[in-house]
Amino acid sequence: MTHTVDRSGVGFRSERGPILIALMLSTGLVAIDSTILATAVPSIVGDLGGFALFPWLFSIYLLAQAVSVPLYAKLADTVGRKPLILIGVGLFLLGSILCGFAWSMPALIAFRAVQGLGAGAVQPMAITIAGDIYTVAERAKTQGYLASVWAISSVVGPTLGGVFSEFVSWRWIFFVNVPLCLIAGWMLWRHFHENIERRRHRVDYAGAVLLTFGLSAVILAVLEGGQAWAWNSPQSLAAFSLGAVLLVAFVLVERRAAEPILPLWVFSRRLLLTTTFVSLGVGAILIGLTSYVPTYLEGSIGVSPLISGLALAALTIGWPISASLSGRLYLRIGFRRTVLIGMVFAVAGAAVLVAFAGAPNLIVTAIGCFVVGLGLGLVATPSLIAAQSSVPWNERGVVTGTNMFARSIGSAVGVAIFGAIANAIFAATPNGDNVPSVVESASGAVFVAVLVCAVATVVAGVLMPRARVEEIEHIPAQDPA
């Protein structure tokens, strides 16, 4: 690829501004969708029925997104980013329209899978494109812009979901995506251009199939274990066994593939390996707090869902604040030290939640979430940029996808572990999920588990290479034209 980089700035008025806006709109599709649905579940169930099936609205989306990320990431390094992100936006648009017209809960679940397949391309491609067209110094600011989308969505999403459900129809939580998809797609098509070196590629179909079905089996086993079936049930053992066999076969195939879908060298480089484990920890910490902070506040002191959601929003408000400032820090002291400073904040915030779990307080909980968010903003962005900057263009998609995939896996495994911990405490008391003291105990145990995850992530940060930014950077930013 040949590029001449525009250095006219990072803001919206620069030559790259329209691309940044398109990336923010694309990211906003995924961000809003992750928060808007929760407040509409009662309305959806009241209309379509199928209360026992509604958890699948979240599980199938997470599953489709997680298993498709490695495939999109590899294809992005062979055919380019633009086709993949446009396909992702298109699938998300199709899935949103189908969800809006869903006639039953099984149909809605199936259409949510289509949305998940779109999200699996949109989020990693947006981050990869930002890594392509901005320098290391500029990427921190652009990642701050992208992170701000999540902060806004954490407030706007639940509010829109409640407004649509109460005053219009829950179907509009999906229809609202249509204009956003069309605008984002048009702006990407119009303003983002790549000069791809065209050559014949040998698509690793065997690896793609084995990875998709292997991960599907494992993630389904993790998501449903202890919920739909017991951990030691035949269904659970069969799912884990099938997933293990398919993943072993996948590794064997990748060792011989001419163009493997997930090259094994990703796990042989110290920087990439440690940042992958950091991303795993970030995913687990996020899912632990987003899943149980609202339950903790509503079940212990009886605050409304809206207020508990705002307390949790402190987490995603702190994140973009520190992410936008992280560039100055890692350019001065390096990626590793920046990540470790962030983890100190994350550990401190989790410790606050643990310390006050037995004495629920809305303000203290919000402060704890905010401090964790500040920490994760100093962890997620610098670790991702360090990984991106250590590889050339034709490896950056795989590296970014692996990082995003690790975060999804951390969330999937985390939600299962935290759920098992909480459910064990709830089960010890009849109707325990409605007893404030039991809710406090269960949530406190989950916060302890989150703290353990944070400490484990510190270890991964300590093991990151000590190299300075200029020693890590492999290739400069590339021009979108």
Write the CB contacts of 389 (distance below 8 Å, at least 6 apart in sequence).
131, 136, 139, 469, 472, 473, 474, 475
Task: Determine phi and psi for 229, rounding to 5 degrees.
Answer: -150, 160
340-365 pLDDT, tens digit each = 999 999 999 999 999 998 888 889 99
pLDDT at 480 over 60: no
In DSSP terms, 225 is beta-bridged to 229
Residue 176: band (very low, low, confident or very high) from pLDDT cuts 50, 70, 90: confident
Q: Which two tokens stand for residue 81?
A: 């980013």
3-state secondary structure of 229: strand
Q: In the chain, pLDDT over 90 holds for what percent of residues?
A: 22
Distance (Å, whole) CA 188 – CA 93: 15
pLDDT at 146 over 70: yes
> Mean pLDDT over residues 118-122, rounded?
89
3-state secondary structure of 225: strand
Q: Which two tokens stand for residue 327?
A: 């560039």
Q: Which two tokens stand for residue 429?
A: 């008391």
Fold observed for domain 264-481: Growth Hormone; Chain: A; (1.20.1250)
Write the CB contacts of 49 (distance below 8 Å, at least 6 apart in sequence).
104, 105
190-247 pLDDT, tens digit each = 888 776 665 566 777 788 788 888 887 887 787 677 666 777 888 889 999 999 999 9
What local confidence, expressed as pLDDT, does residue 458 receive? 95
**Nearest alpha-carbon partner for 143 in 153, 162, 130:** 130
Q: Provide the CA 474 distance to its chain's centre, in angstroms.
A: 26
Q: Which two tokens stand for residue 232?
A: 């030691």
The DSSP call for residue 361 is -
pLDDT at 36 over 90: no
Distance (Å, whole) CA 446 – CA 89: 35
Fold observed for domain 8-198: Growth Hormone; Chain: A; (1.20.1250)
What local confidence, expressed as pLDDT, does residue 396 receive? 78
- CB-based contact 117:65 (threshold 8 Å): yes
Task: Determine phi and psi for 480, rounding to 5 degrees.
Answer: -75, -10
Q: Which two tokens stand for residue 265?
A: 């060298």
* Dihedral in degrees, nearest 10, Cα atoms 437, 439, 441, 443: -150
Task: Determine phi and psi for 453, rounding to 5 degrees.
Answer: -60, -40
- CB-based contact 178:169 (threshold 8 Å): no
Distance (Å, whole) CA 307 – CA 293: 11
**Nearest alpha-carbon partner for 280 in 154, 409, 421, 129:** 409
397-451 pLDDT, tens digit each = 788 888 888 887 887 778 778 877 887 787 777 776 678 888 888 889 999 999 9
> Mean pLDDT over residues 158-185, rounded?
83
Question: What Rg value do the Cα atoms of the chain yield, rounded?
Answer: 21
In DSSP terms, 229 is beta-bridged to 225
> Mean pLDDT over residues 249-272, rounded?
83
> Mean pLDDT over residues 278-297, rounded?
85
Q: Which residue has tokens 């806006």?
A: 21
Write the CB contacts of 331 (distance below 8 Å, at least 6 apart in sequence).
136, 137, 140, 469
Q: Which residue has tokens 């250590």?
A: 390
Sign of CA dihedral 66, 71, 76, 82: negative
pLDDT at 473 over 50: yes
pLDDT at 479 over 70: no
Distance (Å, whole) CA 448 – CA 347: 11
Distance (Å, whole) CA 51 – CA 103: 15
Q: Which two tokens stand for residue 217?
A: 């089996």
Q: What is the 3-state secondary structure (H, E, C) of 19-68?
A: HHHHHHHHHHHHHHHHHHCHHHHHHHHHHHCCHHHCCHHHHHHHHHHHHH
71-100 pLDDT, tens digit each = 887 787 777 788 888 999 999 999 999 999
Q: Which two tokens stand for residue 301?
A: 């002191």
